[in-house]
């Protein structure tokens, strides 16, 4: 990138409340929360729990009734809201692109408002389109209605990031696209965030989305009360109460698989040969390796075919006719859930793992997966116990201190 | 004298009247558009104010045009003033109503997005809301113009300018040899003017409605 981008800023919410006239109870009640710089925090909760309201108070689209918001140590509660919003990116559901402006005009809006030069804006628009994976030459002059839902959403994110704000607020941005596109957009956001290190506050009602994207997740119940604010791992393995476990839903162990990547688990090595190897050596490897199957790689080292002992005999020594083609592979960045999916659909219960250019790096099978999951869950459980223990100790210390204090008062 | 001979001998007069007619309608439309959009902008946010504006302008429209001009004469005198006032008032309703409907019809998520990315209220109005409401407003202007074309003919009653003079003169001397020609040529000229204006509006629409929201 030509310009160094602004990294995230810490956000501090202090006793933030919102009361609407005519309603007895507050819509958001006394939220206090610290969001670290460069962190992705997800607000998740049932509809009507005030998560969106809380988000919109950060850029003061909804004015808080009481409480304070600090961004980067600076109190923005009294600042001119228009000025504040130009320095906080905002992306919403169904993209919110202005239909009467081209893609480029939409992206250029905020830089124009804060007075960037024409050339700088033009360069920035190209750069942003590039960043979200759209070809600038092709999409520059298009109107929003000429784009698919996923493309619109990308432009929406590009617009939110155009003026390089330290903070990005996203209000159910992927709520209106189909599941496959949503998956792509989520992956894209993870990639973007790895490059940009913005502070992202993201609202969703989809817990799986929260697990996938969040560094930390705030599970909110009605009136935006924080039921639990912790890492996805901790929430999955150690939900704070029934509300949270209800929200996590069934299959926490399965969801846990989404949090671990194939590169984090043990990949077994498999005997391999390449298509260029002489038949003789293939035979001898089959005989000596002890397994009754080997993996045949193509010229570039990519998995090509599974070869069984009998296959070569039946094909009368012709590699072209022997073996079963490799249909599915997973990358080292794939989640364990993807790997499990691939293993389950494979007739022999294993899947080849590939590197960046599709080259073979190993194999994952059912056994590896089961072992890894057991280890993961065990580790999570131990951590949760340690956490619980710490909490109890802290509580005990506090009670102790209180009793001492009372005793002291009684004596005096 | 048949109709064509009549046209041949009086085309000078006819053109002058047509020009004055068009000019009066055009100028009143400009004033009505500015006023109408302004009223729309001021009232669309409030349910009550918006309804009041629509109600008032439609009440004006129900006053018969002859009566309206007649009532204006004692107040502002004869000639141009009552014509301009009456035409402008009649022209308001379609514009005000379409401006309110158009502005209210702007997708609230877009308004939210505009505010959210840091647009001030006037900026949001000028850059987002009015451009998006422009197609219905333009339709209102078109309807208004068509209506004013006809109503402007009544202006002759107050000695105003335009093609109405021909029609009134013809009607006053029905039975004389040129009466029918006068009425006919005045009416036809108004129809032709209306069509010409409409063609211009189509062109204006092409030029001013962005491609992204053109139907």
Is A411 a residue whose pLDDT tops 70? no
A49 touches chain B (CB under 8 A): no
Is B141 a residue whose pLDDT tops 70? yes
Is A412 a residue whose pLDDT tops 50? no
pLDDT at B130: 93
Q: Give the rounded percent of residues in chain A with a pLDDT score beyond 70.
A: 95
Mean of the pLDDT values across residues A235-257? 78
pLDDT category at B201 given cuts 50, 70, 90 is very high
pLDDT category at A202 given cuts 50, 70, 90 is very high
Is A336 a residue whose pLDDT tops 90? no
A118 touches chain B (CB under 8 A): no
pLDDT category at B203 given cuts 50, 70, 90 is very high
- All domains in chain B, ordered by first residue: 3-214 (1.10.3720.10)
Lowest mean pLDDT among A54-58, A350-354, A388-392: A388-392
B120 touches chain A (CB under 8 A): yes
Contact B118 A92 (CB under 8 A): no
B116 touches chain A (CB under 8 A): yes
Greater pLDDT, B90 or A400:
B90
Please write the tens of the pLDDT for every residue from B118-134. 899 999 999 999 999 99
- The rounded mean pLDDT for chain A is 84
Is A2 a residue whose pLDDT tops 50? no
Nearest CA in chain A to B135: A100
Q: Among A105, A148, A156, A151, which Cα is nearest to B210's? A: A105
Contact B117 A83 (CB under 8 A): no
Greater pLDDT, B48 or A280:
B48
Contact (CB, 8 A) for A155 and A147: yes
The shortest C-alpha distance from A321 to chain B (Å) reads 55
Nearest CA in chain A to B214: A100
Greater pLDDT, A358 or A118:
A118
Tell me how crowded residue A85 is: count the other CB atoms within 10 A of its CB: 25
Is A56 a residue whose pLDDT tops 70? yes
Contact B109 A110 (CB under 8 A): no
Mean of the pLDDT values across residues A373-387? 78
pLDDT at B13: 84
Is A145 a residue whose pLDDT tops 70? yes
3-state secondary structure chain A: CCCCCCCCCCEEEEEEEECCCCCCCCCEEEEEEEECCCCEEEEECCCCCCHHHHHHHHCCCCCCCEEEEEECCEECCCCCHHHHHHCEEEEECCCCCCCCCCHHHHHHHHHHHCCCCHHHHHHHHHHHHHHCCCCHHHHCCCCHHHCCHHHHHHHHHHHHHCCCCCEEEEECCCCCCCHHHHHHHHHHHHHHHHHHCCEEEEEECCHHHHHHHCCEEEEEEHHHEEEEEECHHHHHHCCCCHHHHHHHCCCHHHHHHHHCEHHHCCCECCCEEECCCCHHHHHHHHHHHCCCEEEEECCCCCEEEEEEHHHHHHCCCCCCCCCEECCCEEECCCEHHHHHHHHHHCCCCEEEEECCCCCEEEEEEHHHHHHHHHHHHHHHHHHHHHHHHHHHHHHHHHHHHHHHHHHHHHHC
Is B42 a residue whose pLDDT tops 90? yes
pLDDT at B142: 93
pLDDT category at B1 given cuts 50, 70, 90 is low
**Residues of chain B contacting A90 with CB distance shorter than 8 Å:** 113, 116-117
Contact A100 B114 (CB under 8 A): no
- To test the contact with chain A by mutation, choose from B107, B113, B122, B208 the residue with the greatest count of A C-beta atoms within 10 A, namely B113
pLDDT category at A1 given cuts 50, 70, 90 is very low
Please write the tens of the pLDDT for every residue from B159-196. 778 888 888 888 888 778 888 888 888 899 999 999 99
Mean of the pLDDT values across residues A173-186? 83
**Residue A143 is nearest to which of B115, B131, B211, comparing CB atoms?**
B211
Is A357 a residue whose pLDDT tops 80? no
Is A350 a residue whose pLDDT tops 60? yes
- To test the contact with chain A by mutation, choose from B105, B117, B125, B205 the residue with the greatest count of A C-beta atoms within 10 A, namely B117
Mean of the pLDDT values across residues B7-29? 87
Mean of the pLDDT values across residues B146-158? 85
pLDDT at A316: 67
pLDDT category at B41 given cuts 50, 70, 90 is very high
Is A323 a residue whose pLDDT tops 60? yes
Mean of the pLDDT values across residues A112-134? 90
A124 touches chain B (CB under 8 A): no
pLDDT at A405: 64
pLDDT at B133: 92
Mean of the pLDDT values across residues A293-306? 85
**Residues of chain A contacting B117 with CB distance shorter than 8 Å:** 85-86, 90, 109-110, 159-160
Is A147 a residue whose pLDDT tops 50? yes
Q: Give the rounded percent of residues in chain A with a pLDDT score beyond 90.
A: 15
pLDDT at A408: 46
This prediction's pTM: 0.72
Is B37 a residue whose pLDDT tops 90? yes
**Residue A100 is nearest to which of B119, B123, B212, comparing CB atoms?**
B212
pLDDT at A109: 92
């Amino acid at each position: 990138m030509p310009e160094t981008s602004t990294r995230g800023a810490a956000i501090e919410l202090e006793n933030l409340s919102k009361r609407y006239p005519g309603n007895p109870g507050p819509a958001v009640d006394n939220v206090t929360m610290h969001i670290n710089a460069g962190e992705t925090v997800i607000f998740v909760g049932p509809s009507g729990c005030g998560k969106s309201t809380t988000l919109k108070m950060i850029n003061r689209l909804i004015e808080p009734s009481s409480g304070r918001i600090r961004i980067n140590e600076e109190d923005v509660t009294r600042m001119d809201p228009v000025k504040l919003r130009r320095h906080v990116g905002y992306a919403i559901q169904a993209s919110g692109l202005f239909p009467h402006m081209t893609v480029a005009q939409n992206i250029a809006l905020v830089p124009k408002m804060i007075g960037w030069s024409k050339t700088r804006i033009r360069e920035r628009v190209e750069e942003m389109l590039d960043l979200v994976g759209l070809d600038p030459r092709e999409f520059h002059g298009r109107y929003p209605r000429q784009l698919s839902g996923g493309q619109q959403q990308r432009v929406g994110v590009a617009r939110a990031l155009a003026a390089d704000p330290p903070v990005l607020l996203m209000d159910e941005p992927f709520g209106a696209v189909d599941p496959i596109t949503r998956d792509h957009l989520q992956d894209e956001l993870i990639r973007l965030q790895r490059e940009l290190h913005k502070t992202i506050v993201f609202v969703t009602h989809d817990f799986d989305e929260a697990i996938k994207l969040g560094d930390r997740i705030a599970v909110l119940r009605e009136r935006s009360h924080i039921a639990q604010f912790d890492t996805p791992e901790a929430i999955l393995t150690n939900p704070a109460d029934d509300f949270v476990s209800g929200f996590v839903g069934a299959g926490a162990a399965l969801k846990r698989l989404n949090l671990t990547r194939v590169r984090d688990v043990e990949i077994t090595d498999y005997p391999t040969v390449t298509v260029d190897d002489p038949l003789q050596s293939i035979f001898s490897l089959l005989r000596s390796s002890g397994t009754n199957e080997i993996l045949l790689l193509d010229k570039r080292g990519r998995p090509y075919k599974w070869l069984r002992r009998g296959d070569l005999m039946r094909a009368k020594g012709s590699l072209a006719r022997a073996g079963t083609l490799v249909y599915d592979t997973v990358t080292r960045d794939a989640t364990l859930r993807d790997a499990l999916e691939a293993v389950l659909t494979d007739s022999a219960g294993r899947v080849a793992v590939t590197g960046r250019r599709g080259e073979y790096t190993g194999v994952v099978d059912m056994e590896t997966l089961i072992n890894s999951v057991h280890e993961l869950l065990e580790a999570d459980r131990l951590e949760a116990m340690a956490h619980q223990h710490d909490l109890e100790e802290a509580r005990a210390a506090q009670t102790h201190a209180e009793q001492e204090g009372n005793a002291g008062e009684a004596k005096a | 004298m048949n109709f064509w001979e009549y046209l041949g001998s009086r085309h000078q007069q006819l053109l002058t009247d047509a020009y004055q007619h068009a000019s009066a309608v055009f100028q009143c439309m400009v004033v009505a558009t500015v006023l109408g959009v302004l009223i729309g902008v001021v009232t669309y946010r409030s349910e009550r104010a918006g309804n009041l504006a629509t109600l008032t302008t439609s009440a004006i429209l129900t006053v018969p045009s002859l009566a309206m001009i007649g009532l204006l004469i004692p107040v502002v005198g004869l000639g141009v003033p009552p014509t301009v006032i009456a035409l402008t008032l009649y022209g308001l309703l379609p514009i005000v109503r379409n401006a309110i409907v158009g502005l209210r019809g702007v997708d609230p998520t877009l308004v939210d997005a505009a505010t959210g990315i840091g647009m001030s209220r006037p900026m949001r109005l000028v850059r987002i809301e009015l451009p998006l409401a422009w197609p219905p407003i333009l339709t209102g202007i078109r309807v208004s113009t068509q209506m004013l074309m006809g109503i402007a003919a009544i202006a002759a009653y107050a000695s105003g300018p335009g093609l109405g003079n021909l029609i009134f003169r013809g009607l006053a001397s029905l039975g004389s040899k040129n009466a029918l020609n006068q009425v006919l040529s005045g009416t036809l000229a108004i129809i032709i003017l209306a069509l010409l204006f409409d063609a211009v509006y189509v062109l204006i629409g092409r030029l001013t409605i962005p491609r992204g929201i053109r139907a």
